[in-house]
Amino acid sequence: MKRGSEKLKMTIKSIKPRRMVVLGFVCVILVGTVLLMLPASSASGKGLSFTEGLFTSTSAVCVTGLASVDPGTGLSAFGQVVLAALIQIGGLGITSIGVIAVLSAGGSFSIGKQQLLKEGFNLSSGKGLTGVVKAVLYMTIFFELAGALLSYPSFRKTFSPAKAAGVSLFHSLASFNNAGFDILGNYCSLQDYRSDIWLCSVTGWLVIFGGLGFFVVSELASHKRPGQWSLHTKIVLSTSLVLLLSGTLLLKLTEGGAFSWQDAIFQSMSARTAGFATVSIGGMSSAGLMVIMGFMFIGASPGSTGGGIKTTTFFVLLRKIQSLISSRHCSAFKRQIPEATVAKAFLIFGMAICVIFIGTLILCILEPGFAFEHIIFETISAFATTGLSAGITPLLGDASKIFLSFIMFIGRLGPLTMATIWSSRELSAVTYSEENIAVG
C-alpha cells in the first residue's frame, strides 16, 4: 500500500504544470456534472441527464454562459448554488483555489508548485505569486459584494427580499466573472430590465472590471500616474476603450432604431465576453450578428475572467501589420514589442481561426437544420466563452452539446495551451539554409 502511494505521488509530481491546470479543470467539470445530475439539483426532482449536466457544468466552469437548461426554471435552489460555485471556481481559476486552500491550511509552496501557479496565471515571472492570489481573492470579494448590494434595489422591485438578495448575489457573481448566466427564467437574460439604467450600468461596470484583468485593476488601484503604468495596462485600457466605442457605433449603425444608444453600449460591452443581453440576439440583423461575432472573437484581456484571443493579442496583430506596411519596428507607447510576443500573437490568432472553422464545419454536419450564421455565432460564442446565443442552444442534439462543451474547454484554457500540453520536446538545434518562396 505504501509503495503504491509513493508511486502515485511520483506520478503526480512528474506531470507538467500546464497539464496539471488542464486536469484540474477536467476534474472540477466532472464533479460539477455529477452534482447537477442529482435529483436535488433540478426543479423537476429528476436530475439533469449526463449531456445536460456536462454541458452546463462546462459552461459554468469555463465562465461561458451558454445554457441548454434554463437556470431560472430548470434548476432548483441547490442546483443554482452549485452553478454559482462552479462559476466562481472557473472565474478564480483552479490554481487560485488551490493556493487559497494551501494558504488557509498554513502551507507553503515548493518551486514546482510555484511553476504551476505561474502557468495558471500566465505570468512571465514567478515572483510574489501568493501575494497575487491574495489580491485576486480580495478584489473578487469586493467587487462581487459591492455588485450584489448595488443590484439589489432593481431586483427587489420584482422579487421578495430573500429572493432578490439571492438573485442579486448570483447576478453580481456571474457579471464579474463574465459568465452570462442568469436565474431570471425563460432565457430572457436582462431583457426585462432593458430600461433599468441603474442595473445595466452596475452590470456593465462589473463586466468591464472583470474583463480588464486582475493585474490591470491592481495597477489602477495603486494610484500610479498614467505615465507610470506598465505597457500591458496601457494597451489593455486603450484597446478596451476603442473597442467599446467602435462597437457601440457599429451596433447603432447596423440595428438602427431597434437599438437605443443604451442598448448599443451595453451589447458592445457584453459582446466581448460577458454574455448578457438586453435585446433578443436572435432577432438582430445579419450585419449586427457579424459585429457581435467580431467582438466576441477578440474577447477580454489576459489575466481576466473573459475569453477570446484577448485584447492584447488583437493590438499586437494590428501593430505588427502596421509596422510591416510602414517598414518600422513593432512598438507601442515608446516601447518595442518583442518578436517572440508577436509570433505568439499570430500563433494564437491562427489556431483560434482553425478551431472556429473546424467547429463550425462539424456543427453544420451535426445540425443541418439551422442557419449557417446561427451555427457560426454559437461556435464563436463557445470558443470566446461569451455565452451569447441566437436561441439555438436548447435545441441542439446531444452530440452537438458535447462537442460545444469541448470548444468551450479549449476557449477557456486557450488553444495554445491545449496544443502544447503534451509537447515535451525542446527546440531543435538543427538549422537549414534559407531559400525564398513566393507568397501573397
CA angle 153, 300, 413 (to 5 degrees): 110
pLDDT of residue 273: 82
Per-residue pLDDT tens digits for 242-281 = 999 999 999 999 998 888 999 999 999 998 888 899 998 8
H helix or E strand, kind and range, residue 39:
none
pLDDT bracket for residue 154 (50, 70, 90)? very high
Nearest residue to 274 (alpha-carbon basis) of 180, 208, 147: 180
pLDDT of residue 404: 94
Does residue 135 register a pLDDT over 50? Answer: yes
Nearest residue to 320 (alpha-carbon basis) of 308, 329, 311, 310: 329
Q: Is residue 7 part of a domain?
A: no
In the chain, % of residues over pLDDT 70: 83
pLDDT bracket for residue 330 (50, 70, 90)? confident
Q: Is residue 427 part of a domain?
A: no
Number of domains in the chain: 1
Strand partners for 331: 336
pLDDT bracket for residue 282 (50, 70, 90)? confident
Place of cell 422591485: 157
Q: Quote the pTM value.
A: 0.86
pLDDT of residue 365: 95
Q: Is residue 182 part of a domain?
A: yes
Alpha helix locations (H) across 123-230?
129-156, 161-176, 197-212, 214-221
| Mean pLDDT rounded to a whole number for the chain | 84
**Residue 332 near residue 315, CB atoms below 8 Å:** yes
Does residue 103 register a pLDDT over 90? Answer: no
What is d(CA 243, CA 384) in angstroms, rounded to the nearest whole number?
A: 16
Q: Is residue 249 part of a domain?
A: yes
User: Residue 105 has what DSSP assignment?
Assistant: T
Q: Is residue 4 part of a domain?
A: no
User: Does residue 153 or residue 111 have the better pLDDT?
Assistant: 153
Per-residue pLDDT tens digits for 404-434 = 999 999 988 877 666 665 555 555 566 777 7
User: Which amino acid is it at 130?
Assistant: T
Q: What is the arithmetic mean of pLDDT over 1-16?
A: 49
Task: Provide the residue range defining the domain that includes 274.
Answer: 12-417
What is d(CA 303, CA 230) in angstroms, rounded to the nearest whole number?
A: 14
Q: Is residue 426 part of a domain?
A: no
Q: Is residue 3 part of a domain?
A: no
What is d(CA 416, CA 179) in angstroms, rounded to the nearest whole number?
A: 22
pLDDT of residue 11: 45
Q: Is residue 423 part of a domain?
A: no
